Structure 1
Amino acid sequence: MTAESERLRSALAADLDRARARTATLTEAVDDDDLVRQHSRLMSPLVWDLAHIGNQEELWLVRDVGGREPVRRDIDELYDAFQHARADRPALPLLGPAEARAYVSTVRDKALDVLGAVRLDGRPLVADGFAFGMIVQHEQQHDETMLATHQLRVGAPVLQADPPPPARVSAAGEVFIPGGPFTMGTDTEAWALDNERPAHVVDVPAFHLDVAPVTNARYAEFIDAGGYDDARWWSEEGWAYRHKAGLGAPLHWRRDGGDWVYTRFGRTARVAGDEPVVHVCFHEAQAFASWAGRRLPTEAEWEKAARHDPVSGRSRRYPWGDEDPQERHANLGQRHLSPAAAGAYPDGVSPHGVHQLIGDVWEWTSTDFHGYPGFRAFPYREYSEVFFGPEYKVLRGGSFGTDRSACRGTFRNWDYPIRRQIFAGFRCARDAEPGESA
């Protein structure tokens, strides 16, 4: 093996270990009764996510890449996310906590054996370690899902983290982003998933974009102005859902006297005005934007703001450049258990002057989820293609619960526009006037 190959194997093993350590934190923080309990019909029991993580690793790394004998072929159907809705999973004959832990441990040992032996070139599935990177991202995505389940559980706090940093600079107002073409998507990011490919040129008209995501204080103004009670600001679909679900504030907010408070991971505190609002659905974000005389950005506008360098004309990997995310750049990886104040990460600012595009909160865009021109499903249709269509809206940027491996300037998330349990917020945009320039 070459030195370069050895470095790649070591890096992949370290990423697999880091993901597994986070999985252990999330599953060992609760007792076995909590592990098998369904805390919300929107979410699986934590023990399902745990075994599903192992099953995907077995399917792709042990069986496909490694060509090894199955560990537990008999449980494939139980942990196929397309076979059983989340609400129905507690009734399945799932592996118990001890059996699930033993299973994922056995699978990991075999996967590491495969990593030590397989060539990381040749077929696309293994080139540059893609299959291993795909499994790292998959586990980290489920870790964020489990973190959302923790937010929905009732009981004493079990997760601990330092508070996020305070604001270091002002991040108020909006910036002007000139019109013109930029390269969207990627052909070069080794771990990019199929929906991020291929790179293609998009001509984006000039627009204005908020410097930071909409904060709790600003969102509270919308509530106080009667925004939830005025059909003018809502789409027809959103207004119907607002009534059906009884929406009146972000999820987990409640009144305490004259203040808004929220309960976050078992701790109740006054809503922090300078933090990005979180746990709002697409319809709420769209209604706020309409009330404010704005709109939600398109996905292409978001990515141009995050990646385009107006000096060189090239698209960066991240707003700050091509360097992997560091702690100074963004609030990622469950390092904190809440968004950071607007203006907390000046080192992560984009060339256009936009802050906190990566981390803190996933950001709703106005764009339906679809494939890019020339899209090709890889390595299986069920990762992206089966979700294409108007039922899903694209979210960008990652949250405080998103790992750096599953977040980059091209990374695309998607969900139903009614979803509020995810760590989602938004920022607003508006069209530029004809002939307007910076």
Structure 2
Amino acid sequence: MTIDHGVEPAEALRTRIAEVLARARARTAGLTDCVDEADLVAQHSRIMSPLVWDLAHIGNQEELWLVRDVGGREPVRSDIDDLYDAFKHARSNRPALPLLSPAEARGYAGSVRDKVWDVLDRSSLGGRNLERDGFAFGMIAQHEQQHDETMLATHQLRTGAAVLEAPAPPPGAPVPLEVIVPGGEFVMGTSTEPWALDNERPAHRVSVHAFAIDAAPITNEQYLAFIADDGYHRSELWSEAGWAHRVAEGLTAPQFWEHDTDGNWWRRVFGSMRPLAPRQPVVHVCWFEAEAFARWAGKRLPTEAEWEKAARFDPATGRSLRYPWGDDDPTPARANLGQRHLEPAEVGAYRQGVSPTGVHQLIGDVWEWTSSGFDPYPGFAPFPYREYSEVFFGGDYRVLRGGSFGTDEVACRGTFRNWDHPIRRQIFAGFRLARDLTPGETDGPR
């Protein structure tokens, strides 16, 4: 977020907060109003909540943090706090809970939002850390948009006729195969981005060796070559855990891919079957699939530090930028974000979003798996609650970077960190590859 430091910065910030909160709520309404009550209360996958749970959970988190904490107001519905506590009820069990009906959930979220507008009007947007620079409001806007992306993934999993519409993304253009990112130190993370979450902090210096990274994410066409070369049936390409998962789940292609008797590949996109677009980034692959592809290609997944250096480091100034293209906020010409489209754009579609080292589409289109586990940065401090990040550190989680076509710009920046289990495929995730340099290689595209 860029804060206006003009004559009335607090009022400019207040206007900005109102805009992002309204944008999130409009998206939530669009994702829940387009289906009937039966669809809202149904569980479309055991790894996802019913849409109506997400709707009321969004309202409950907003009530807890903005109405009760920041605003100091009386509870709207304290009797439902346990129902919508994500840590108390597994997703698979949520349909059995006495959840609010769709009408009740909409009414509840609306009542909370009405109180939030008054809290926003009265907040100084300063003082204690939770309110400074509007952090609590930004956190809640990000939370709602993250659940909107989760609900979008639920829409992809539901059966039945298509209910979502969006224009096609822009066409692509030729890009280099890979670029070389120079070695040395850069500043990773942030200590100045006002709405950055705790796992993005603090800024710290990290040194990486020079490396090559793909100029664009791996495409459907490239992934088809892996399938054609029997990649799903060659155990030597897979880790032991990855092979066990592939066999147990019977994986033979990315999720939602199908092929007909003539050998043509199709992909289900929010209820519609579409021919596979060869130059779009592959999506709905798990970390194990990305790892196997990388081994097949003779490369590897980038580390999280390598990904962030490719996305933020400007060799000409030595600075770490907010985004690949600079410090300005995203625009439709720079990145495929915000559910503006319902699929990734072809590689090379966003010339205005290229990083200083020549890497394309690092923001938007598909979340990108990295090789790194989810761990705290040096000097990490949980804020404002341990359950956002700290309880997830360690384990088998793998970090994803960059956002997808379903990620809103308020929840996506060069430092933003996402994480998930290596088996997850319902998320809008793809990947790009990296490799170590051979002796004598120099900077420049290839």
The answer on 1:415 being equivalent to 2:420 is yes
Hey, what does 1:192 align to over in structure 2?
196
Q: Which amino acid aligns with 2:234?
A: D
Whole-Å Cα distance in 1 between the matches of residues 55 and 230 of structure 2? 43
Whole-Å Cα distance in 1 between the matches of residues 326 and 410 of structure 2? 16
The answer on 1:179 being equivalent to 2:207 is no
SS of 2:397's partner is strand
Cα shift at 1:11: 1.0
The answer on 1:249 being equivalent to 2:253 is yes
Whole-Å Cα distance in 2 between the matches of residues 7 and 311 of structure 1? 33
SS of 1:276's partner is coil
Hey, what does 2:233 align to over in structure 1?
229
Whole-Å Cα distance in 1 between the matches of residues 123 and 403 of structure 2? 32
The answer on 1:201 being equivalent to 2:205 is yes
Q: Larger deviation: 156-165 or 255-264?
A: 255-264
Whole-Å Cα distance in 2 between the matches of residues 125 and 171 of structure 1? 43
Whole-Å Cα distance in 2 between the matches of residues 292 and 33 of structure 1? 45
Normalised by the length of structure 1, the TM-score is: 0.99
Aligned to 1:279, which of 270, 280, 284?
Answer: 284
SS of 1:389's partner is coil
Whole-Å Cα distance in 1 between the matches of residues 294 and 197 of structure 2? 31
Aligned to 1:115, which of 120, 140, 155?
Answer: 120
Q: Which amino acid aligns with 1:67?
A: G
Aligned to 1:220, which of 211, 224, 231?
Answer: 224
Whole-Å Cα distance in 1 between the matches of residues 9 and 176 of structure 2? 45
Hey, what does 2:62 align to over in structure 1?
57
Hey, what does 1:312 align to over in structure 2?
317
Hey, what does 1:166 align to over in structure 2?
171
Whole-Å Cα distance in 2 between the matches of residues 360 and 42 of structure 1? 23
SS of 2:399's partner is strand
SS of 2:320's partner is coil
Deviation track 1:337-385 (CA, whole Å, cap 9, x = no partner) reads 0000000001000000000000000000000001000000000000000
Hey, what does 2:411 align to over in structure 1?
406
Cα shift at 1:118: 1.6
Cα shift at 1:390: 3.3
Hey, what does 2:156 align to over in structure 1?
151
Whole-Å Cα distance in 2 between the matches of residues 434 and 384 of structure 1? 40
Cα shift at 1:435: 5.2
Hey, what does 1:85 align to over in structure 2?
90
Whole-Å Cα distance in 2 between the matches of residues 271 and 138 of structure 1? 32
Aligned to 2:295, which of 282, 290, 294?
Answer: 290
Whole-Å Cα distance in 1 between the matches of residues 46 and 251 of structure 2? 18
The count of aligned residue pairs is 436
Q: Which amino acid aligns with 1:327?
A: P
SS of 1:114's partner is helix
Q: Which amino acid aligns with 2:369?
A: W
Q: Which runs of 5+ in 2 are unaligned?
A: 1-6
Q: Larger deviation: 216-225 or 112-121?
A: 112-121
The answer on 1:259 being equivalent to 2:268 is no
RMSD of aligned C-alpha atoms? 0.7
Deviation track 1:220-249 (CA, whole Å, cap 9, x = no partner) reads 000000000001110111000000111000
Cα shift at 1:3: 2.0
Whole-Å Cα distance in 2 between the matches of residues 322 and 88 of structure 1? 43
Whole-Å Cα distance in 2 between the matches of residues 434 and 60 of structure 1? 54
The answer on 1:134 being equivalent to 2:139 is yes
Cα shift at 1:211: 0.4
Alignment identity in percent?
69
Whole-Å Cα distance in 2 between the matches of residues 211 and 5 of structure 1? 40
Q: Which amino acid aligns with 2:186?
A: F
SS of 2:396's partner is strand
Hey, what does 1:329 align to over in structure 2?
334
Hey, what does 2:384 align to over in structure 1?
379
Cα shift at 1:14: 1.0
